[in-house]
Every structure is written in structure tokens, then in C-alpha cells.
Amino acid sequence: MKKVDSLVDRDKKSVWHPFTSLESPLPVIPIRSAKGVYLYTEEGEKILDAISSWWVNIHGHAHPKIAQAISDQAQKLEQVIFAGFTHEPAIKLAENLLNILPSDQQKVFYSDDGSTSVEVALKLAIQYWQNQEITSKKRIIAFDGAYHGDTFGAMSIGERGSFNLPFASYLFEVDFVDFPQKNNHDKLVGSFKDLAGTGEVAAFIFEPLVQGAAGMRMYDPDILDQLVGIARDSDIISIADEVMTGFGRTGRLFASQYLENQPDIFCLSKGITGGTLPLGVTTCSQKIVEAFLSADSSKTFFHGHSYTANPLACAAANASYEILLHEDTKKNIKRISARHLEFANSLQGHKKLKDVRCLGTILALEIGTSGQTSYFNKVRDKIYQYAMNRGILIRPLGNVVYVMPPYVITDEQLDTIYDCLQGILEVV
């Protein structure tokens, strides 16, 4: 039996893949190695990773500097309990992050991934009020269409739908407000103010400027700025979930940098390690910190994970940080953003498209369809396969095809993707 067949077979017998039907999955492709924007299959074919492997890989695969940092760290200190102990990579990473986040961010709390960074943010926000013995502030505001992860708190603050249907009765209630669109700002501000006016809202959580999983839905910084401002004036904690938008994705280091009013809490993950190792980070402002400064031990933040601040992940993140701030990376982000914009403009008014949008290194094409516009739209599988046949990995969100490449992608590689997208528009 060929090695590939055997791997696929063995995988099928024992492995359960994420977001994948057990009964009728698309075939898995064994990957042997990866370099730059390419994944190399066991059969020796190369696949262009146009979605940065679920939005994590910002500097290209197997980046030598990050690989070296992980290797060096692994030979010194691979892991240590983070309660009662610390280490240089975690301290340095906290300093690095605080250096590029808004100046009022003061403390960095480590966890494991995007979902846990969100859980930490929610728990900090809830306990912030409890610690001050303010019991009336319990409600949480989120946008329609939100996605913040797959753990229970994160599911609760996310759009209710097929992904979390079996758990619906276990999720806590959230006040969902309309997703900002061109023509609903006044209504949205009105309902936000009504909620804020109850004095019962503990926190407002949002994906700044781009709702990723909802289909790369983009919205105006001005309206978000306004809502964060209202939240601040109404004593509501603002939480920016920058798990997807952080580290240059939207053209700036953080999407919140498009705002004047800054959130109290940031959730970070995905690109933080350059896409090499899992790591979650929640940062908060001095205001939040102060509610936890107490001799009363019940006011301690009792949260932690076995691998909190794993030194390998922190070392990878520090290496990724250096690369992120390098002039070449800044130039690449600008170049990709300009290319995306040019391509998006060339498609304006295309008869097969309902919308085409981009922000920074994210480009999204919303295909007009008579069927469901959800994740389960059948056009998805067709597009996925069309691109895979051309050696390009894109993973449409329903009828939304998007591109979110590693920043090292060249103009020629971008052209290959754009050609593929043009081809998709012809066949759908």
C-alpha cells in the first residue's frame, strides 16, 4: 500500500478532525512539510496556503528565525509551572506586547489559544464588577454574527446557529445588537444606548472592523469608535477580540488602532507566534488591574492552564514580534493591501458578486447565490475543490471566498490566487 493511502486510512480509523463530518468528510491530505506560502503533500505536490492555515501563519511556514528561537528555547527550558515561577521569554513577550498595544494596557495574562483568551477576558470583566461588590452589572453586549471561539463562554457570546445548537440551552444570555451596516448606525447607537442606560451591562465584546467567521464581514471604524466611547461613558468594559485581526492583518498592528477610543481589554492569539505554536494572551488596562489589587484572597483571579506562558510558545512569539516590526514586513503588508484593493476594485459590479471587500491583507468575495448564504452553502465545496485542483488552499465561509495570505507572499503568487478567483467567478 502506498504511504499516502496508508496515512489516509490510519487517519480515518483513529483521528477526529475539527469542523468535519465523521460520516462524509472531504478526503484529508497528508502534509509532509511546509515552507513560505507552500504546503508540501506526501505525494510531493505543493499547495499555496492562501488562508495562512486558519489565519495563524503570518510570516510563512517554517520561518528560520522562529524555528531557531523554538529550538534554542527547547534546549534551555521547555516548560515550567507559571504560578510562583517566571521566565525571560514570558517577561520579554509581555514587554513586547505592551510596547505595541495602546499605552494604557498594563498587564498580560497568558493562556492557550483564541478561545481561552476570550474566556479570560470575560472572566476578568465579570469579576471586575464582583470585586467591587457591584452586583447589578451582569449583562454582556455582542454583535449579531459574532464568533469568539468554541468554549462555553465564547460560544455564549457568539451568534446562535448550527455550530452551537446542541449546546443552546447551556449558553448564557447575551444582548446581541445589530451588526453595523451602512444604513443602520442611528438605530444601532439607539439600541446600544438603551442597553447602556439600564446600568446593568458589564461588558461589550467585539471583533474590531472584521467579523471573521461570519464571512469576513467588515464595518466602519467610526461606528465602533462611537460604541466604545458610549461604553466608556456608561462604565461598560470594552473587550476587543483581536484574535484574528491582530498582528498586522488589517493593515495596522491592531484593528483597534483605527479607533480613537481604546478598549479596556484585548484578546490575542493566532498570529502571535507566527502560527507555529498555540498561545493565547489577554491584556488589560490599569483600571481593570486595580479591581484585583486586594488583600482579600477571594478577589484573586483564580484562572490558569497547565501550559500557561509556555516558554517555547513565548520564544516563538518574541521571534515573530521581531519579524513583524521589521521594515520588510511592513512593506509586504502595504503591498498586499494595495494589491488586494486594486483587485477588489477591478471586480466592482461583477454580476456574480454580491459584494467584494478588503481591509489590509484580507480580501473577501461574496458570491451572489439563490441558496443559503450560510457556511453550509453548497457552493463552498465546489469552490474549495476548484481551487485545490489548481494547488491553492482557500476555505470559503459559505458563499464568501476570502484570501488572507502569509505576509511573505510574492506578487506572482498573489496573481495566481487572483487568477483562480477569476476562474471561480466563471464557474459558479
Ligand X SMILES: Cc1ncc(COP(=O)(O)O)c(C=O)c1O
Q: Is 129 in the site for ligand X (CB under 6 A)?
A: no
Q: CA-to-CA distance for 77 and 39, rounded, in angstroms? A: 30
Q: Which of 36, 89, 114, 311 binds ligand X (CB under 6 A)?
A: 114
Contact 388, 47 (CB under 8 A): yes
Q: Is 158 in the site for ligand X (CB under 6 A)?
A: no
**Helix 311-325, helix 327-347: angle, nearest 10:** 70
Q: Is 248 in the site for ligand X (CB under 6 A)?
A: no
Show contacts with ligand X in window 315-344 (CB under 6 A): none
Query: Stretches 28-36, 99-107, 236-244, 412-420: which one binds ligand X (CB under 6 A)?
Result: 236-244
Query: Stretches 6-14, 68-76, 241-249, 372-380: which one binds ligand X (CB under 6 A)?
Result: 241-249
Q: Where are the alpha helices (DSSP H) in 366-410?
A: 379-389
Query: Stretches 108-116, 296-304, 329-337, 391-399: which one binds ligand X (CB under 6 A)?
Result: 108-116
**In 3-state terms, what secondary structure has residue 34?**
strand
Q: CA-to-CA distance for 15 and 9, rounded, in angstroms? A: 10
In terms of Cα–Cα distance, which of 177, 136, 171 is closest to 157?
A: 171
Q: Is 310 in the site for ligand X (CB under 6 A)?
A: no
Count of positions on this chain that bind ligand X (CB under 6 A): 14
User: Closest residue to ligand X, Cβ-based?
Assistant: 114
Q: CA-to-CA distance for 97 and 272, rounded, in angstroms? A: 10
Residue 108 or 118 with smaller CB distance to ligand X: 118
Write down the number of H helices and E strands in the chain.
Answer: 13, 16
Q: CA-to-CA distance for 71 and 125, rounded, in angstroms? A: 37
Q: Which of 37, 90, 118, 209 binds ligand X (CB under 6 A)?
A: 118
Show contacts with ligand X in window 170-209 (CB under 6 A): 207
Q: Which three cell numbers stand for residue 8?
A: 489516509
Q: Which of 109, 110, 147, 402 binds ligand X (CB under 6 A)?
A: 147
Q: Which residues contact 63 (CB under 8 A, 6 or more apart)?
A: 274, 276, 319, 320, 323
The contact pattern for ligand X, residues 271-290, with x = CB under 6 A and - = no contact, is: --------------------
Q: Is 258 in the site for ligand X (CB under 6 A)?
A: no
Q: Is 115 in the site for ligand X (CB under 6 A)?
A: yes
Q: How far is CA 286 from CA 110, 172, 267, 414, in A?
A: 17, 28, 16, 42
Q: Which of 61, 69, 113, 364 binds ligand X (CB under 6 A)?
A: 113
Contact 267, 125 (CB under 8 A): no
SS3 of 206-233:
ECCCEECCCCCEECCHHHHHHHHHHHHH
Q: Is 156 in the site for ligand X (CB under 6 A)?
A: no
CB of 143 to ligand X, least distance (A): 11
Q: CA-to-CA distance for 293 and 311, rounded, in angstroms? A: 27
Rg (CA), the chain: 22
Residue 269 or 320 with smaller CB distance to ligand X: 269
Q: CA-to-CA distance for 151 and 119, rounded, in angstroms? A: 8
Residue 404 or 424 with smaller CB distance to ligand X: 404
Q: Which of 96, 269, 285, 310 binds ligand X (CB under 6 A)?
A: 269
Q: Which of 124, 188, 202, 244 binds ligand X (CB under 6 A)?
A: 244
Q: Which of 36, 60, 149, 248 binds ligand X (CB under 6 A)?
A: 149
Query: Stretches 32-40, 110-118, 131-139, 226-234: which one binds ligand X (CB under 6 A)?
Result: 110-118
CB of 174 to ligand X, least distance (A): 15
Q: Point out which residues pair with 368 in neighbouring strands.
A: none
CB of 370 to ligand X, least distance (A): 28
Show contacts with ligand X in window 66-105 (CB under 6 A): none
Report which DSSP code applies to 257. Answer: G
| Interaction site with ligand X (CB under 6 A) | 113-115, 118, 147-149, 207, 212-213, 241, 243-244, 269
